[in-house]
Chains A and B, each alone.
Chain A
Amino acid sequence: MSYQAPVRDISFVLNHVVGLADIAKLDGYEDATPEMVEAILDASAQFTGEVLAPLNWVGDQQGSQWSEAGVTTPDGWQEAYQQFIENGWGSLAFSVEYGGQGLPMCVAASVQEMWHSANMSFGLCPLLSQGAVDAIEHHASDELKAMFLPKMVEGVWSGTMNLTEPQAGSDLAAVRTSAEPEGDHFRIKGQKIFITYGDHDLTENIIHLVLARLPDAPEGVKGISLFIVPKFLINEDGSLGERNDVRCVSLEHKMGIHASPTCVMAYGDDAGALGYLVGKPHHGLIYMFTMMNQARHAVGVEGYGIAERAYQQALSFAKDRKQGKTLLGKSDDDHGIVNHPDVRRILMTMRCNIEAMRGLALECAAAFDIAGKHPDENVRVFNQRRGELLTPLVKGWSTEIGLELCSLGVQVHGGMGFIEETGAAQHLRDARIAPIYEGTTAIQANDLIGRKTARDNGQGMQELLTDMRATLTELQQSNNPDMQAVAKRFESAVGAADQSLQWMLGQNDPTLPSASSVEYLMMLGRLSGGWMSARTALVALKMKNEDGADHDYLDARVALARYYADRFLPLVDASNITITEGSESTVSLSVAQL
């Protein structure tokens, strides 16, 4: 059950498809040269393969444990976390001003993929810290930044995000936790649930970001403010002071990610937990939304990261396991089940989708990198819109497909896959949360049809389709028969997506678009994945003419694009039928009839 990071696949996309060299030319990203990034990916591959991956199974079996004294993580996790922060991995994408390395998001996402493949439960701790750091850095006062950021960037303190309450899940308007002003700070009282790494023994302090209401707050989402509530108060000299009035009162028993403690947090059982207001009152939800894209993107990366792990395990099993005479085996001792055509189907499905999802996630991250640093405002605006449009696809599509692929990973193992000791089942159980947290697939789809499609009247979508048509022209002009076959499928799929877009824009009643929103999201995800896969193949074909080219590797990129086009692009056409002709039947039964 080992894991070896696919450094070559990752650098191929970064260098040849999304244009890392151009990003390294942007002011502030000079360090992210292809050679430097290669060295970073190699080091990360070594660390994740040797330190994080071996703790994945023990994490699942032991889980994190609750007691009055606090939550303890599984054996070996404290040491691994210590190494993780000593080696500087937590500070990868944070700004240099607070001790981070200031690397572009596309590089950070590449490294984070490895955390999630190696050990998804572990990767969640730094992931949550990142969200908290971003919130503080963008919205808190300089004084609060100075108090919290350096230690959080270093990883000595971790961060959490406290949004959900029992009655306020996807609907945050119902948040009830209260904040009473008291001098220069506030007293927070209330209960929060589903708080990832709400308590643990990996760091000396935990900094909670908490949504709560001030006494004069208006009803609904416009009355929510954001507070920083540290587990231990901080003395004037920066040392840790007394314990704040916040406790983890229990842990959830979950289907997967057992080692990631999912906490019920009680604020203010006694005098009220001391908290500091971030930014202006009643702006909490807006602040949360500024980092929503980043957090959702990160969960999308988790989606294919876990699938990559499942793929590696399935592939290794398929080569090893012998059952029956295979149709593709060349000799008597060449009958690993990998040589059954149907097992090939599964492995191809896993491989081409993982590469497509990785391509899209890195394309999206690169768009945000350009949006943040490009000197030309038009380029910045265009890329910001592109990044925001792709984010719900990266989150929604990649987590849904990632989950399916983990299920296929179990299937390759046959009966052994259903047995826990094999380890394939853990990936499936772990992957199940990704389409749910950080906004369910339906929430992503809602974001996609609302903010990302209807609000700009389809402008971002049209720009994307225009770029896809440019790729289509390249495919059509290629004299490679595989590329011509891909072109045929891609042309049809782009046309189908355009029709669905027009249908979406043409609806006055939001009911039908809402009924088909997830179909629309999956359709655009599949199409965008096919686009990345086709672009990768086109580059690979060009590279074949270079001296010393690795034809084996490059041909494989072409073959994967071809399979993706044959097998998955037709589903885009099918979705178009479902959306434009089948939306009504989705809601045609009454509740009584269901």
Chain B
Amino acid sequence: MKILVGVKRVLDYNVKARVKADKSGIELANVKMAMNPFDEIAVEEALRIKEAGNAEEVIAVSIGPAKSEETIRTALAMGADRGILIQTDELLEPLAVAKLLKHIVEKEQPGLVVLGKQAIDDDCNQTGQMLSALTGMPQATFASKVELDGDSIKVTREVDSGLESIRVKSPAVITADLRLNEPRYAKLPNIMKAKKKPLEVIEVADTGVDVSSGLSVVEVNEPEQRQAGVIVGSVAELVDKLRNEAKVI
């Protein structure tokens, strides 16, 4: 079985996001970019499935500008076998991304697609679900545990009320939650070998997929600055402030 893993190039989680001066979006020029942390977890899970003998190949797919090749190389350095970059300089919405992934799924016929549950830049949390709907594959989102038994996969999901276990049949789409695993560090020899692993680059235009968007961004703003707190002298004062100033009780 092949496993397809989605890896998105996003603003590094250590970097404080800044809104562009013209409010058209987040400033991405000259800031540190890295693999979406949830995607790292997805790569790790795919590698573990392969290492347990339940898959033969792990393919890392990224959709984005030429620089996304670096993100794929990171996945290859972690242990993925080959990469596919669907190149575009446009900012794509989840639906377009899901359609492009469907294109790859049809070509590669993976037994499993593992994605991060969401990307930390737009927090959409839609691509996995949309890909499932477009391909007709079952979906197991917010996975915190994945157990394979032949083509039956038991997935433990983190839901508001606790943990839910479901069973899906391969081929399926799984989206990784934070506690699924702890991603490995890339080993130095593997970083060097990653350069020699195959990486195919496809232009969006050549996929024939319609990636046009129905949405336009009106404006992006910084969240409002949090006001400094005050230290209250007594419980009575706290209750008074909650009642008369904050008016919450």
Contacts and interface: CB of A to CB of B under 8 A. Distances in A.
A548 B188 CA distance: 31
A36 B188 contact: no
Interface string B78-98: 000000000000000000000
B77 interface: yes
B196 to A, nearest CB: 10
A574 interface: no
A88 interface: yes
A91 B186 CA distance: 15
Contact of B32 (A8, A39, A83): A8
B185 A40 contact: no
Contacts of A476: none
B191 A47 contact: no
Interface in B146-201: 185-192, 194-195
A91 B70 contact: no
B195 A36 contact: yes
A117 to B, nearest CB: 16
B117 interface: no
Contacts of B34: 42
A43 B192 contact: no
Interface string B31-66: 010100000000000000000000000000000000
Contact of B192 (A8, A47, A51, A101): A101
A86 B192 contact: no
A89 B191 CA distance: 11
A150 B29 CA distance: 44
B118 interface: no
A42 B185 CA distance: 11
A83 B184 CA distance: 10
B14 interface: yes
A335 to B, nearest CB: 12
B187 A86 contact: yes
A409 to B, nearest CB: 21
Contact of B185 (A87, A92, A101, A553): A87
B14 A88 contact: no
A87 B188 contact: yes
Nearest to B76: A39
A305 B19 CA distance: 33
A518 B190 CA distance: 45
Interface string A198-238: 00000000000000000000000000000000000000000
Nearest to B74: A39
Interface in A58-99: 83, 86-89, 91-92
A474 interface: no
Interface residues of B, number: 20
A553 B195 contact: no
B228 interface: yes
A87 B29 contact: no
What is the predominant secondary structure among interface residues of chain A facing chain B? helix
A333 B77 contact: no
Contacts of B234: none
A587 B190 CA distance: 58
Contacts of A47: 185
B29 A548 contact: yes
Contact of B70 (A39, A86, A548, A553): A39
B8 interface: no
A88 B189 contact: yes
A101 B29 contact: no
Nearest to B194: A39
A164 to B, nearest CB: 33
Given A4-B14, A35-B70, A333-B228, A40 B188 contact: yes
Given A36-B192, A333-B228, A43 B73 contact: no
A155 to B, nearest CB: 11
Contact of A43 (B14, B32, B77): B77
B244 interface: no
Contacts of A86: 187
Given A35-B70, A36-B195, A333-B228, A101 B32 contact: no
Contacts of B192: 31, 36, 40, 101
B212 interface: no
B195 A43 contact: no
A394 to B, nearest CB: 24
B30 interface: yes
Given A7-B32, A35-B70, A43-B188, 16 more contacts: A8-B32, A36-B192, A39-B74, A40-B188, A42-B74, A43-B185, A43-B186, A47-B185, A51-B185, A86-B187, A87-B188, A88-B187, A88-B189, A88-B190, A92-B188, A553-B30
Interface of B: 14, 29-30, 32, 34, 70, 73-74, 77, 185-192, 194-195, 228
11 contacts: A4-B14, A39-B73, A39-B191, A40-B191, A43-B191, A46-B185, A86-B187, A88-B190, A101-B192, A548-B29, A548-B30
Interface of A: 4, 7-8, 31, 35-36, 38-40, 42-43, 46-47, 51, 83, 86-89, 91-92, 101, 333, 548, 550, 552-553
Closest 8 CB pairs of A and B: A88-B188, A550-B30, A87-B187, A43-B186, A88-B189, A88-B187, A39-B191, A47-B185
